[in-house]
Each structure stands twice: as structure tokens, then as C-alpha cells.
Amino acid sequence: MTKHTGNIGAPVELVGLTKRYGDKEVVRDLNVSIESGEFVTLLGPSGSGKTTTLNLIAGFTPITSGSIFVDGTDIGRTPAYKRGLGVVFQHYALFPHQSVLENVMFPLRRRGISRKESAKLARESLALVDLGGYENRRTSELSGGQQQRVALARALVYRPPLLLMDEPLGALDKRLRDSLQVEIKRIQREVGSTCVFVTHDQEEALTMSDRIAVFQEGEVVQFDRPEVLYRRPANLFVAQFLGDSVLVPGDVQRGSFSSDLGVRGIGAPSHPDGSAFLFVRPEQVDIAPSVREAPADAVALDAAVISQTFLGSSSRVELRLADGKTPVVARLSAQDTRQWAPGERAVVWFLERETQILRS
């Protein structure tokens, strides 16, 4: 493809990015460095500031303070149309009465590129999203998934330094969403574009991202690789937002965590005194008939079995700890054929190094 703009995989840096509506800060002091060609997802619950952040980067919403560096240049006060970024939204914003080809040519024609050259580049971009042969269709005659591919082809046709996508798969059914996730990833890798992608679907974020910025009430509370977010969440919110967690309530005193439920003296050197949780993921939890059958160096807690569910590739056992209310979920591998009956007394155990102390 011919190169029409700057560096297609530009590094991006958000510095102290803040947006206030009245006295409400909906985006607060974001500091995020995105590497060239990286796929970064903004993930968080509804209203946490993801779309606002994307609109600040795109230039559709004026920033209150801070900077947005793309390829080393602060574009934070540049009008949207001069930023030259690729944008794809949940609703495709295509021209319904024009052909697919004309839709994709549009950004090039607006930049004054000849009709012939625009058509050539648009065809290349359509081939990239697997829509070769659809050039002459009207976009109103396409399915939702096809329309979203046209929108992607249009966003990529002038090889933007940065591609922004706000829940582009949100309006599609699950099967289509799954296959487009894989495809967007492939295209992004092939083109080498830097990408900022918004979703509130944790599975989608885990599948697609090099790194994920987790939003909580306008702030990025953790920015890390998916496996780090899953294994080492920075706080209780991140732990609960991404997957199932086991949380044993207790207390930190002088850098040491204990719980009446059977935990003594787990080191928590950087934690202030006060109530906290011992956190572990269900895959790290095992079950034994009694404490004698658990490894001597494991954290072992009395529990009672509530239920066991077979899920094909694993089984999921739900238990309650000795207080009768704290739930524990253990995920056992398919090779593990033990059966646990409701009401049965058992011991749940896990290794201290798989745990983390989280403030409540």
C-alpha cells in the first residue's frame, strides 16, 4: 500500500489527560504510554470514562487539561479532522446510498487524492478486510458484520498513525463477534497500526489486547498485560472485574495477614493495618478430604461442599468456608475424577505464592 500519512504504528502517550464536565471529573489524570504497533484496550464498567477518553484522543471532545502525544507531537489541541486518526464506532456511520468502494474512498478523496489512486487504495483496503468483490454493493445491502468491515477498511485506507475503535463489535451477535475479534487482530498485526480499542467485555479484552487499561470511575487503576491483570490484580475491583476470584476476609496487622477462617501470618509488608482479603484464582485452589492430605506448606482452610458442576474441560466445585458464608470456588482439571457431594466436609488448599493481599 502507498503511504499517505506519517508513521502507521505511531507511539502514543497520554500525559495527565483530564476531562471535567461541570465539577465532575469523568477522566482523571491519565498517564498511559502506548508502544508503536501495540493493541491496547480500555476496559471498564459503564460510565467509567472509556468513550470519553477515546473521544479526547480522536478530538471529538475538547480536553480540560493534559496532553496527547502521537509520534512525539502533542495533538491535544489540534482539530479532529487534522489529527488524521482512523476511527471505528459501534454504529458504522457509513453512507447508506453509496457503494462500498465510494465509502472507503471517501477519506482519500477528502484529502485531495485522485479518483484513480483512491479507488486503487480502497480496493486494497477492502481486500484486507476480506470484502474483495463487494465494491459495487450499497452499504445498506450488507450485514452488520460486513458493514463493520467496511468501516474498518475506511478507517485503515489512509494508513492512520493510530486506529481508535469504540465497541465496534457491540451490535453484533456472539458468533460474529468472536470471529471478527480474531480478524481485527490479524488485520491490525498485518498493517502494524497502533490501536486503542474500547470494550466493557472482559473476555474480548483478554483475547485481543497486548495490554489492557482498566478504568474505574474515570481513572486507570491498572495498565498491564492480560495475564498480569488476571494473576496479579492491583486491587479488589480489578480482581472481581476480570474472572472469578476467591476472597478470604481477614486483617493486616504490622505487615502480616491473618483470618479467623484459618490463615496465619501471611506476609503483607506494604499494606497498612486494617481489613483486607487474601485473594487467589479458582484454578489455584485444590480440595482434600482432610488437612492431613493437604501439603504441609499450603494454606489449608476448613470448608463444606455446596455443589460440583462438570464443564467438560474442567469441573467447578463450590464450597463455603467455616463461617458458613464465605464462598470458595475450585476449578479442577478434567483428569481429576474425584466426586464431591453436597454437604461433605473438606479442606480447600492453595500455595501462598499464588495468593495476594488486597485491601477491602
Ligand X SMILES: Nc1ncnc2c1ncn2[C@@H]1O[C@H](COP(=O)(O)OP(=O)(O)OP(=O)(O)O)[C@@H](O)[C@H]1O
Q: How far apart are CA 323 and CA 309, in angstroms?
A: 23
Report the site for Mg ion in 175-214 (rule: CB under 5 A): none
CB atoms within 10 A of CB 69: 17
Q: Does 51 bind Mg ion (CB under 5 A)?
A: yes
Q: Which is nearer to Mg ion, 51 or 103 (CB)?
A: 51
Main-chain dihedrals φ then ψ at residue 151, nearest 5 degrees: -60, -40
List the single partner that 200 binds among ligand X, Mg ion, none, CB under 5 to 8 Å by kind: ligand X
Size of the site for ligand X (CB under 6 A): 11
List the single partner that 46 binds among Mg ion, ligand X, none, CB under 5 to 8 Å by kind: ligand X
DSSP at 353? G
Q: How far is the CB of 168 from ligand X (least distance, A)?
A: 13
| Cell representation of residue 56 | 479526547
Report the site for ligand X in 197-256 (rule: CB under 6 A): 200
Q: Does 44 bind ligand X (CB under 6 A)?
A: yes
Q: Does 51 bind ligand X (CB under 6 A)?
A: yes
Q: How far is the CB of 11 from Mg ion (least distance, A)?
A: 25
CB 233 within 8 A of CB 239: yes
List the single partner that 48 binds among Mg ion, ligand X, none, CB under 5 to 8 Å by kind: ligand X
Residue span binding Mg ion (CB under 5 A) among the ranges 43-51, 79-87, 131-139, 141-149: 43-51
| Cell representation of residue 29 | 489524570
* Cβ-defined contacts of 23-26 (< 8 Å, 24+): 25/218, 26/52, 26/218
Q: Which is nearer to ligand X, 92 or 340 (CB)?
A: 92
CB atoms within 10 A of CB 64: 15
Report the site for ligand X in 14-43 (rule: CB under 6 A): 21, 26
Q: Does 46 bind ligand X (CB under 6 A)?
A: yes
Q: Which is nearer to ligand X, 14 or 105 (CB)?
A: 14
Strand partners, 162: 194
List the single partner that 21 binds among ligand X, Mg ion, none, CB under 5 to 8 Å by kind: ligand X
Helices (H), the chain: 50-58, 80-83, 100-110, 115-128, 144-156, 174-191, 202-208, 226-231, 236-241
By CB under 6 A, name the binding residues for ligand X. 21, 26, 44, 46-52, 200
